[in-house]
Structure 1
């Protein structure tokens, strides 16, 4: 007898994992098929980490509704899932009369959408809020905030798994067929069977949509490159600093602090056709520096420690070229499918609101029985470096591995690394441990600790060094020993 799921979700990023978590509130057999070895390898782990307020999205759009809803609830969500979050506010700065008109336009739109507290402020007020910000004037958005996109995505996935959802990594979908009301989903490693399919495949959602019998969608990839600045720069910045939006609501290069004290400069925005091209380029890096200096006064090359890129899956109108709203649909002609396409920014902010809407669509067709054992709370790995001395002393007495610092830049202990290696999702790549502990995210970017972490993974998981992955499938760290 085939093992048949009630729901299979294709895509385990922040939205897919939010959907999994919300459906785990009910008595259902749920699986998630993720093509990468972890939940943070794609767009969900390659973004600015902003909690958007919702002032640039068309009134009444799904983007606007979900951004407002997700923003307002996030203090309680962050506490429930034990993820770091700061409601910092945001400055959207301007220099010209055109910039002022843009700010007034989006202030009015934001207020229409329900964003609270938007203000136009002068240069002296900018300096009081954040002396590092450029600009002659600004719109201040107190509702905006910053979060860790890795930890949030991981927290949603772990909480879903703790409530019974099964995750299957390295499971790229290559074919979907349907017979007798049961979907047969073939991946590169295994075949699955399910009554319902939810397409949350991000950059590949148009491809999966076509496999499901819903053609017509075509995504454009907009690549954004970033610089990561050292925490030495982070001490100068209080909140995200954005330039005034263009006429279509898009922002140029901005400067955003992270919840951990770094600063991100970016993103750029270039159309790409290879959705797995995460390289960075010298011309764009130079552009980031030139534009970044206009908005963040303390930008210096000495602070640069890393660069990276992400790709936003935009659904664009074929005739006008305008970016479209999120698609969240259930069609009568394609039964038992919930289809999400074009989920880009503000997808991080909108993940749980989108998930609840997916549940509501399902509930129109199927009776939902509450899962009486559902637990909405998830506890993350305790950060040793953030504890006071008395707590640190108790931790070391309880486990001597807390007294062994593996990552010197971020003060991550061996005990934390081991906990991360044994995470409930079974992820044991180098970046999987990095995203769960912040090891290798400091000034030396793993120069000291990376091989030590690889050694711990090998020992804890009984793996040879040749089997240890850096991040994505095939990214093996070692080919053998230098010396025997």
Structure 2
């Protein structure tokens, strides 16, 4: 099948979706392609969810400017999109005199970058912000915060679709070929699904695969070095223990900012990330040695951590331009290629890519404007429908009113997270048509609690069967190569609904 657009975005991470949403303001036919069955299934769902202030980046670099500008834009964006976002500040802690010199450098460059409210704190001041923190000094950056990275990515994509952007999932790009001027210019993009896309402008926002996409367009010389970071997720028993972000002072040549504890907007705490270069950008393995290290780090900071408090582990990949022997980080590459007209190339968008995404989107839209007229729509809808809070986070009165209006709110599907049948159905009816288990997880938080799906998965299976007619082979974890079932144990087997006690809904 052939489809024609003005702009084609390759990559459905938070940056690609932010670009799609920004371009949806204008009268340009825009589409987004992603190789997965949903947006945000790469680095954008596998990170700490931190909104960085901009202290860690060299003044004058794109990373510095876009981090500060993205931080400034993020709260209004999350308000419009109904995404949880909290400003909680950050302590970057020094343990020795070498670290103290690092704090002085971070203060100087953060001030040069325009980061507001920076101060060096003594131990007593540090502990007033975060009881129990140990160190001899700390740099406080009050504009740092936290956001749900997967909720933001999904919200950006869904709002873009509301405003006319087409999202094509399961479309791995195999070929990008420039068209001759006499044929209208632009590009022909062919995908593994057998589809053919024609666009005047192509935006490469492919993250860890950005070097490969650039090469497909005839632009050699880029290389991404995948760097894996592993995490542990802690049970919500520790919700509220961390009042602010606490990071160690960064060390030279370290490919990340060090292992730390990070509170999330949904009440869990993350331990991580580690930093280890790997060959395969799809290598999301969690390793025994690193997980032991994370457990030791966690117990050092939270001494009463029990084994049952570590409810899940996961890993994400940084799209690093710097090879292992160099370490550290390089500046972002965001370029409107002169040698390949109409190709906008984004390479090496690692942390703080989440924070910078709204500012990157504005920058890329300006580049698109060099190739196409950007006329603003009067019909642009900036706000996304729905609530930011989950049903379980509402007041008793609000819950009662919703149940009276829609009894589907009265049935709890996910007991750990308190997610109702109505919330599951709403998540399944998403504008992108994504219905894998991971897609449902990132929209409704089912399977994310202490039991990791032990209670809710059979109920989700039943909903998909009864409401959408799923057969065993239709259930997917995240894509076509990850089936949940291969068939029935017995041909006459049925998924039975337990009979509840009188007056109790299952």
Per-residue Cα deviation, 1:396-421 (whole angstroms, up to 9, x for no partner):
11111100000001100000000001
Q: Give the structure 1 partner of residue 120 of structure 2.
A: 120
User: Quick one: distance in 2 between partners of 1:424 and 1:320?
Assistant: 43
Q: Give the structure 2 partner of residue 238 of structure 1.
A: 243
Per-residue Cα deviation, 1:52-111 (whole angstroms, up to 9, x for no partner):
000010101111001100111222111111100110111111211111111111111111
User: Quick one: distance in 1 between partners of 2:286 and 2:116?
Assistant: 37
User: Quick one: distance in 1 between partners of 2:478 and 2:93?
Assistant: 37
Q: Which moved more, 1:287-296 or 1:410-419?
A: 287-296
Q: Alignment partner for residue 220 of structure 1, among 208, 213, 225?
A: 225
Contact 1:132 1:237 in 2 (8 A): no
Contact 1:243 1:295 in 2 (8 A): no
Contact 2:15 2:357 in 1 (8 A): yes
**2:474 equivalent to 1:467:** yes
**Which secondary structure does the structure 1 equivalent of 2:203 belong to?**
strand
Q: Give the structure 1 partner of residue 216 of structure 2.
A: 211
**Cα deviation, residue 267, structure 1:** 0.2
Q: Alignment partner for residue 444 of structure 2, among 429, 433, 437?
A: 437
* 380 and 316 in structure 1: CA distance in 2 versus 1, 3 angstrom threshold: farther
Q: Which moved more, 1:135-144 or 1:313-322?
A: 313-322
**Which secondary structure does the structure 2 equivalent of 1:7 belong to?**
strand
Q: Alignment partner for residue 304 of structure 1, among 299, 310, 320?
A: 310
Q: Give the structure 1 partner of residue 391 of structure 2.
A: 384
User: Quick one: distance in 1 between partners of 2:191 and 2:133?
Assistant: 49
**Cα deviation, residue 454, structure 1:** 2.2
User: Quick one: distance in 2 between partners of 1:237 and 1:450?
Assistant: 31
**Which secondary structure does the structure 2 equivalent of 1:99 belong to?**
helix
Counting only pairs closer than 5 Å after superposition, residues 93-104 of structure 1 correspond to structure 2 as 93-104=93-104
TM-score when scaled to structure 1? 0.96
Contact 1:253 1:266 in 2 (8 A): yes
Q: Give the structure 2 partner of residue 186 of structure 1.
A: 190
Contact 1:9 1:198 in 2 (8 A): yes
* 157 and 132 in structure 1: CA distance in 2 versus 1, 3 angstrom threshold: farther
* 44 and 233 in structure 1: CA distance in 2 versus 1, 3 angstrom threshold: same
**Cα deviation, residue 370, structure 1:** 1.2
Q: Give the structure 1 partner of residue 496 of structure 2.
A: none
**Which secondary structure does the structure 2 equivalent of 1:427 belong to?**
coil
Contact 2:186 2:342 in 1 (8 A): no
Q: Give the structure 2 partner of residue 6 of structure 1.
A: 6
**2:352 equivalent to 1:341:** no
**Which secondary structure does the structure 2 equivalent of 1:289 belong to?**
helix
User: Quick one: distance in 2 between partners of 1:417 and 1:372?
Assistant: 33
**Cα deviation, residue 290, structure 1:** 2.6
**Which secondary structure does the structure 2 equivalent of 1:416 belong to?**
helix
**Cα deviation, residue 345, structure 1:** 0.3
User: Quick one: distance in 2 between partners of 1:363 and 1:318?
Assistant: 37
Q: Give the structure 2 partner of residue 158 of structure 1.
A: 158
Contact 1:421 1:460 in 2 (8 A): no
Q: Give the structure 1 partner of residue 292 of structure 2.
A: 286
* 245 and 61 in structure 1: CA distance in 2 versus 1, 3 angstrom threshold: same
Contact 1:102 1:247 in 2 (8 A): no
Contact 1:317 1:324 in 2 (8 A): no
* 306 and 275 in structure 1: CA distance in 2 versus 1, 3 angstrom threshold: same
Q: Give the structure 1 partner of residue 502 of structure 2.
A: none
User: Quick one: distance in 2 between partners of 1:94 and 1:299?
Assistant: 24
**Cα deviation, residue 458, structure 1:** 2.8
**Cα deviation, residue 116, structure 1:** 1.1
**Which secondary structure does the structure 2 equivalent of 1:479 belong to?**
coil
Per-residue Cα deviation, 1:414-468 (whole angstroms, up to 9, x for no partner):
0000000111110101111111111111111111101211221233222212211
**Cα deviation, residue 191, structure 1:** 1.5
**Cα deviation, residue 234, structure 1:** 2.3
User: Quick one: distance in 2 between partners of 1:321 and 1:264?
Assistant: 24
**2:50 equivalent to 1:47:** no
* 400 and 319 in structure 1: CA distance in 2 versus 1, 3 angstrom threshold: closer
Q: How many residues align?
A: 484
Per-residue Cα deviation, 1:365-415 (whole angstroms, up to 9, x for no partner):
322111221111112455211111121111111111100000001100000
Per-residue Cα deviation, 1:172-207 (whole angstroms, up to 9, x for no partner):
001111222131111111121111111000010000
TM-score when scaled to structure 2? 0.92
User: Quick one: distance in 2 between partners of 1:103 and 1:158?
Assistant: 40
Cα RMSD over matched residues? 1.7
User: Quick one: distance in 2 between partners of 1:244 and 1:204?
Assistant: 30
**Cα deviation, residue 482, structure 1:** 2.6
Contact 2:335 2:346 in 1 (8 A): yes
